[in-house]
Amino acid sequence: MESQETRVLLIEDNPGDADLVRLRLIEGHAGVRVECANRLSDALISLSKEVPSLILLDLNLPDSRGADTFRKVMEKAPNVPVVVLSGQDDEALAIKAVHQGVQDYLVKGDVSSKQLERAIRYAVERQALLRSLEMVRKQQIEFKNQFLSHVSHELRTPLTCIHQYVTLLLDGLAGPVAPEQSDHLKTVLKSVNQLHAMIRDLLEATRAESGKMRVEPRCVSIGELIQQSVAMMQPTAREKRIGLEMGLDHRIPLVCADPDRILEVLINLMDNAIKFTQAEGSVIVKACLAEADPDFVYVSVTDTGRGIQPEARALIFERLYQDPDAVDNNRSGLGLGLYICRELIRLHEGRIWVASEPGQGSTFTFTLPIYSLPRLLAPVITYEGQLRPAFVLMRVDLEPLTSPPRGNWREIWQVCLDTLRRCVYLDKDLVLPPVATSGTAETFFVVASTDMQRAPIMTTRIREQLTRVADLNAKATLRITTVPVGLAAPDPGLSLEKQVERVADRVTEMIMTGLQEN
Partner 1 sequence: MGEGSMATKETKESVMRKPKILVVDDDPDLVRALRLRLRAHNCEVVTAGDGYSVIATAQKEHPDLIILDLGIPVGDGFVVLERLQSSDTLSAIPVIVLTARDPQTNEERAMKAGAAAFFQKPVDNDELLNVIRVSLPHRRSPEVPMLS
Q: Which residues bind partner 1 (CB under 8 A)?
A: 149, 153-154, 156-157, 159-161, 163-165, 167-168, 171-174, 192, 196, 203, 207, 212, 214, 403-405, 407-408, 411-412, 414-415, 470-471
Alpha carbon of 351 to those of 42, 66, 161, 194, 267: distances in Å?
Answer: 42, 35, 40, 28, 17
According to DSSP, the residues that pair with 342 across neighbouring strands are: none
Q: Which is nearer to partner 1, 399 or 501 (CB)?
A: 399
Q: Which is nearer to partner 1, 252 or 420 (CB)?
A: 420
- DSSP readout, 295-334? TEEEEEEEE-S----HHHHTTTTSTT---TTTSSSS----
The Cα 487–Cα 387 span in angstroms is: 12
Min dist CB 498 to partner 1, Å, is 42
Min dist CB 153 to partner 1, Å, is 5
Min dist CB 348 to partner 1, Å, is 18
Min dist CB 232 to partner 1, Å, is 14
Name the phi and psi angles at 430, rounded to 5: -140, 125
Q: Which is nearer to partner 1, 414 or 477 (CB)?
A: 414
Cα torsion 293, 295, 301, 307 to 10°: value is: -30
Min dist CB 463 to partner 1, Å, is 19
Please give the order of strands across the beta sheet that includes 82-86: 32-37, 6-11, 54-58, 82-86, 104-107
Select from 249, 275, 277, 284 the least CA-distant residue to 364. Answer: 284
Q: Which is nearer to partner 1, 75 or 411 (CB)?
A: 411
Min dist CB 197 to partner 1, Å, is 11
| Pairing mode of beta strands 352-357, 361-369 | antiparallel
The Cα 433–Cα 368 span in angstroms is: 15
**Measured in whole angstroms, how far is the alpha carbon of residue 45 from the centre of its chain?**
32
Helix (H) or strand (E) holding 388: none
Min dist CB 343 to partner 1, Å, is 15
Q: Which is nearer to partner 1, 329 or 408 (CB)?
A: 408
Q: Which is nearer to partner 1, 196 or 351 (CB)?
A: 196
The Cα 11–Cα 84 span in angstroms is: 10
Min dist CB 164 to partner 1, Å, is 4
Amino acid letter at 370? I
Min dist CB 461 to partner 1, Å, is 21
The secondary structure of 419-430, three-state, reads: HHHHHCCCCCEE
In contact, 65 and 19? CB cutoff 8 Å: no
In contact, 6 and 124? CB cutoff 8 Å: yes
Min dist CB 400 to partner 1, Å, is 12
The Cα 83–Cα 78 span in angstroms is: 13
The Cα 419–Cα 462 span in angstroms is: 8
Min dist CB 10 to partner 1, Å, is 48
Q: Which is nearer to partner 1, 52 or 259 (CB)?
A: 259
Q: Which is nearer to partner 1, 163 or 351 (CB)?
A: 163
Q: Which residues contact 324 (CB under 8 A, 6 or more apart)?
A: 312
In contact, 268 and 364? CB cutoff 8 Å: no
Name the phi and psi angles at 135, rounded to 5: -65, -45
Q: Which is nearer to partner 1, 137 or 150 (CB)?
A: 150
Min dist CB 332 to partner 1, Å, is 23
The 10 Å CB-count burial string (b at 16+, else e) for 328-341 is eeeeebbbbbbbbb
Q: Which is nearer to partner 1, 72 or 207 (CB)?
A: 207
